[in-house]
Structure 1
């Protein structure tokens, strides 16, 4: 408390998760390289022990002893590597969760800020006003598009009957007023008479004899 009052040193900031994750990865990499080194040493000591098994027991036994030590060190290294890897994965998951929660929190604050400018009662009232104005607009559109006074009193069947009568009357007048074709036009349309001379009609001799007898009787 006194430190805060009199400007004491500020508490050191905690470790950065990303930097810690990177350090853990570096440790994993070093442990993996150590594992490879121990594996090579185990193979070498095994080969040395085999090569001296029949010729030099002491050398072979020392090689087997070093092989056992390398194997023990390899097992300890495997345990450390597993714990480091588990810690790194846990930290990565925790860091990801923190980022997710931070983002969700910021989204919630932004949503709250947006909603603070709107009252739910005002929203309902606005929606009612919109619906009312929409209904009014529909009524106006319907009133404008509907037929007006005189047209409402007309009967479509009466109009059709009157039109049919008028149509018949006009057709009859057209038929009556058709002009007859002039005679010269008719003659022009008739085929021309043949110009060849018709054969003369022979005079009946019996008719002449009857006429002479009648004249003679009248004179006596």
Structure 2
């Protein structure tokens, strides 16, 4: 994949170039740091010579001081060079990190683009609408299934009658087991009007005749 920093061999060449530059700078920096230590040792050595001969041989002491001053100037330049190299190394490393970071970000951008290929807000709305339609259809199917159960349907009234009959049979069975006569049987065993006392029947007939006679008299008096 080609990006902002090239691709393939070109990208690898740039990466190697930055790496080689850093390696070269670090090698030079290492050499300068060693030179710095050597110069500092030379300065210390000339200082000791000057101190040793300050009272006995001023010519030697002055020569040592001149060499010391020269080495101090060289040391200042070396320290400045070291600082410059360190700054360059930091700059190259930062630039290299930035390049690598941007390269990764570019690849991520391409990956997101590939994922979203052909996917638009309108397409998402269309898909969501289809999903909602299918969910609504599923709910309708469930409602139809639950409202129309499979199998023969029975009238609730018939079921209630059957239940009452079973309860009555159970009650009768309990009465037989306990020796008590059910209320319904007691009612059936009560004497019927045909078995009633003859005297009571005659009394009722007499009362009817008297009532009829009374009505007849009332009618005659009204004439």
TM-score range, shorter chain: 0.5 to 0.7
CA RMSD in angstroms comes to: 3.2
1:17-41 C-alpha deviation (Å, 9 max, x unpaired): 1110111111111111111111111
Q: Which runs of 5+ in 2 are unaligned?
A: 1-12, 180-223
1:37-86 C-alpha deviation (Å, 9 max, x unpaired): 11111111111111111111111111111111111111111111111101
Shift of 1:127: 1.8
Q: Which runs of 5+ in 1 are unaligned?
A: 1-12, 180-220
Shift of 1:143: 3.7
Count how many residue pairs are aligned between Structure 1 and Structure 2. 164
Distance (Å, rounded) in 1 between the aligned partners of 2:68 and 2:156: 117
Q: Are 1:108 and 2:105 an aligned pair?
A: no
User: Equivalent residue of 1:102, what SS?
Assistant: helix
The 1:81/1:164 distance shift into structure 2, 3 A limit, reads farther
Shift of 1:146: 5.1
Greater Cα shift, 13-22 or 168-177 = 168-177
Q: Are 1:173 and 2:173 an aligned pair?
A: yes
Match of 1:41 in 2: 42
Equivalent residue runs for 1:63-212 within 5 Å = 63-145=64-146, 148=149, 170-171=170-171, 173-178=173-178
1:111-149 C-alpha deviation (Å, 9 max, x unpaired): 223323334433321121112112222332344345749
Q: By percentage of residues, which structure has more helix?
A: 2
The 1:165/1:147 distance shift into structure 2, 3 A limit, reads farther
